[in-house]
Amino acid sequence: EVKFVNEHLVFSAVHRAVHQALVEQIPVPEVEAATESIFPSELRGAMLTSTADIGYSLPTSPQTPAISLPVLRVLGQLDNSYIIAEGPDGLYLIDQHAAHERVLFERIEHQRSRREIEIQGLLEPMTLEVSLRQEEVLRSHYQDLAEFGFSIEPFGDRTFLIRAVPALVHDKDWAGMLRELLDSLSEGDKGDWAESVAESMACHSAVRAGQALTDEEMRELVRQLEQAATPHTCPHGRPTMIHLSSGQLKREFGRT
């Protein structure tokens, strides 16, 4: 067995690569040197968190201001990745993956706390093969995973039988998701175990960047985001939206 000196770094790199593969279906363009930011100051705290430890630090409450969203009017989709909307004070650019992640994360947490997670039984049970390390973690977390809708039982050496999965992920690569999750949990330094499961489920179920959305789908996602408790960041702490206020636009256009 290869033992990594700094497991956390390795994990982060893997996790980040997976996340990147999931959120990016379009090639990443050449990145110029970072110019000045278009972030309003209210979001900067959250933003700095997510760039410092990209995507996988949990947002702490002082950095995630609980500002509720105004009602937004969807104008259209940009790059098949962002929803462009008009608010009572300016323009909103919404990251469709991050926004959907936020909405799903809160729904999963809510349903779990009320034991209302919808479960999808598999017509035929499936086997899941895992590493030694993953097996160790899995054996101590059957019950936790069951709370989210995974029905898992041991089935021999480093093999498990899956009889049911959360309905939300039944048509996704939930096996890959479970392995990623077990790796993450074997790190041992993640904050809340259940939160990690919910995050992972949300990330794997959310609409991707590069996916075309209909006007109706965009409106529906924005309505759901408006009702979220913490609409401004995704569960990993990335911003879900950029707001350009009318005053900011006037200044930029030399209108004030």
CB of 57 to its own copies, least distance (A): 11
Size of the site for Zn ion (CB under 5 A): 4
Among 65, 30, 29, which residue's Cα sits nearest to residue 45?
65
Which backbone phi and psi does 4 adopt, to 5 degrees?
-80, 135
Contact pattern from residue 90 through residue 109 relative to its own copies, giving x for each residue in contact according to CB under 8 A and a dash for the rest: xx-x-x--x-----------
Q: How many helices (H) and strands (E) does the chain have?
A: 9, 7
Q: Are 206 and 65 in contact (CB under 8 A)?
A: no
CA 70 to chain centre: 22
- The residue from 62, 156, 191, 254 that contacts its own copies (CB under 8 A) is 254
- The residue from 11, 82, 148, 174 that contacts its own copies (CB under 8 A) is 82
- The burial of 149, by beta-carbon neighbours within 10 Å (0-12 exposed, 13-18 middle, 19 or more buried), is given as buried
- Under 8 Å CB-to-CB from 15, ≥6 apart: which residues? 56, 180, 183, 184
Query: For Zn ion, which is the closer residue by CB, 75 or 175?
Result: 175
Instruction: State which amino acid sits at residue 172.
Output: K
Residue 203 binds: one of Zn ion, its own copies, none (C-beta under 5 to 8 A by kind): Zn ion
- The burial of 5, by beta-carbon neighbours within 10 Å (0-12 exposed, 13-18 middle, 19 or more buried), is given as exposed
- The residue from 34, 66, 123, 212 that contacts its own copies (CB under 8 A) is 34
Of residues 76 through 135, those in contact with Zn ion by CB under 5 A are: 101
Question: Binding of Zn ion at residue 236 (CB under 5 A)?
Answer: yes
CB of 157 to Zn ion, least distance (A): 33
Question: Binding of its own copies at residue 36 (CB under 8 A)?
Answer: yes
Give the residues lining the site for its own copies (CB under 8 A).
23-24, 28-32, 34-41, 47, 50-51, 54-55, 75-79, 82, 84, 86, 89-91, 93, 95, 98, 209, 238-239, 242, 244, 246-256
